[in-house]
Structure 1
Amino acid sequence: MKPGCTLFLLLFSALTASITAHAQLSSSTTTAPYLLAGSPTFDLSISQFRENFNRQNPDLPLNEFRAIENSRDKANLTRAASKINENLYASTALERGTLKVKSMQITWLPIQGPEQKAAKAKALEYMAAIIRTVAPLLTKEQSQKKLQKMLIAGKGKHYYAETEGAVRY
C-alpha cells in the first residue's frame, strides 16, 4: 500500500474448521484457509447475495459483479468486483463453478477535501449493510455499533479479525 493511502477492508467469510484445509497449506503458499477448495461457503451465489442486498438496502445499490483475472488461485476461485463509486468498491471470492460466496469485502479509498465526510459516511453505510446481510437479526443501529466497535478495535493494526459463529469480520 502506498504511504498515506488508507485502505479499509471489511471481510467476512465462512470459517474453515477443517484440519484438512489447514494441512493443505504449505509454507510457500499464502492462500487463506477459507479460500481453499472444499472450505465452507455461504449458501448464496453472488447473484442471490446481490439481489438480497439490493432488496434490503434500496438506497445502497450493489452493481453487477465482474470477474477479475487472477492466475494465482484460478483453479479454486473466481474473484469479482463491483464499483460502487469512485472511492468505494465491493469485491468477492467465489467458489469456482457454483459462484457461491466465500468472502465479501468493501474497500474504501479515502478522499481529501470537502467531500471526505460524506464519502466516509457512505462507506460506513455500506459496511454496516453488509454486516446486516450476513447477520440479519441485527438492526441498523446494532450493525452500525458493531462496525464502530470493530473499527476502534482494529485501529492502527495491520490486520484485525473478529469471529462470530460461522462469520469472520
Structure 2
Amino acid sequence: MKNLPGALLLSLALTFPVWAEDAPPQDRSDHLPAAPYLLPGAPTFDMTIAQFREKYNAANPDLQLLEYRAIDSRDDKSNLTRAASKINETLYASTALEQGTGKIKTLQITWLPLPGPDEKNAQEKAMAYMTALLRFFSPGLSAEDGRKKLDSLLSAGKGSRYFARNEGALRFVVADNGDKGLTFAVEPIKLALATP
C-alpha cells in the first residue's frame, strides 16, 4: 500500500505490536506484550473482510468502508495478512487476517489527529466510525447507547498504549498514542466452557 502516509504506517506499527523478545535489545524498553490476536491459537471472527465490509456497509450507509488493501509486511513474523482502508486523510480502518482462511483476527479504526480548524469535525467523524464498528458487534445498542459505551471505553483507555475490556465473546481495545493517533479495535476472544 504505497500511498499510505508515514503517520499511518507508524500508527499501524504501534497498533500491531510485536513480541517484545523479537525486538532488538535497544527497542525492548517498553516490554509490551504481544497483542492477544498475535498469540498462537487466537480466535477469529467467522467471516472474511469482504463479508464484514458488505454487512457493515449495508448497516451503515452514511459511514461506508472502501475496499481493504494489503499492507506490505515482509518483516512480519506473525503469519497474518494486514490490510487497511482509507476513509479520509486522517481516518483509516485496518485489520489482521488469518493466513489461509482470510478470517478476521482484529478490526480497527485509527484516527490521526491533525491540529487545525477541521480537527473537531474530523474527531467527530472518527467517533461516528468507531461507534458504528462497536454497534456492528453489539447490534442491540442504540446509536446513543453505542456512543456512550465508546466514550466510556475511550475514557478508560485515555493515555494508554494498550487498554482492553472483555465483554462476552468480544474484546474492545483502545490504543491512545496522543497526537500520533487513537485506535479503537474489536477482537474475538476464546470462551472457555465452565466445568462442573
Gaps of 5+ in 1: 1-6, 12-25
Partner of 2:57: 54
Partner of 1:96: 99
3-state SS, counterpart of residue 108 of structure 2: strand
Gaps of 5+ in 2: 1-10, 23-32, 173-196
Query: How far 1:27 sits from its partner (Å)?
Result: 6.6
Query: How far 1:154 sits from its partner (Å)?
Result: 1.4
Partner of 2:67: 64
Q: Which has the higher contact order (CA 8 A, sep 6+)?
A: 1
In structure 2, distance between residues paired with 1:159 and 1:38: 21
Per-residue CA deviation, residues 88-115 of structure 1 (Å, 9 max, x unaligned), is 0000000111111100111101122221
Confirm or deny: 8 A CA contact 1:93 1:101 kept in the other structure.
yes
In structure 1, distance between residues paired with 2:58 and 2:123: 23
Runs of 4+ in 1 over 3 A off after TM superposition: 72-75
Structure-to-structure mapping, 1:8-157, within 5 angstroms: 28-29=21-22, 31-73=34-76, 76-157=79-160
State the aligned residue count.
Answer: 147
In structure 2, distance between residues paired with 1:167 and 1:41: 11
- The TM-score, its normalising length taken from structure 2, stands at 0.69
- The TM-score, its normalising length taken from structure 1, stands at 0.79
Provide the alpha-carbon RMSD of the alignment: 2.1
Query: How far 1:139 sits from its partner (Å)?
Result: 1.6
Per-residue CA deviation, residues 94-142 of structure 1 (Å, 9 max, x unaligned), is 0111111100111101122221111110000000000011112222111
Query: How far 1:38 sits from its partner (Å)?
Result: 2.9
Give the letter for the 2:149 counterpart.
K
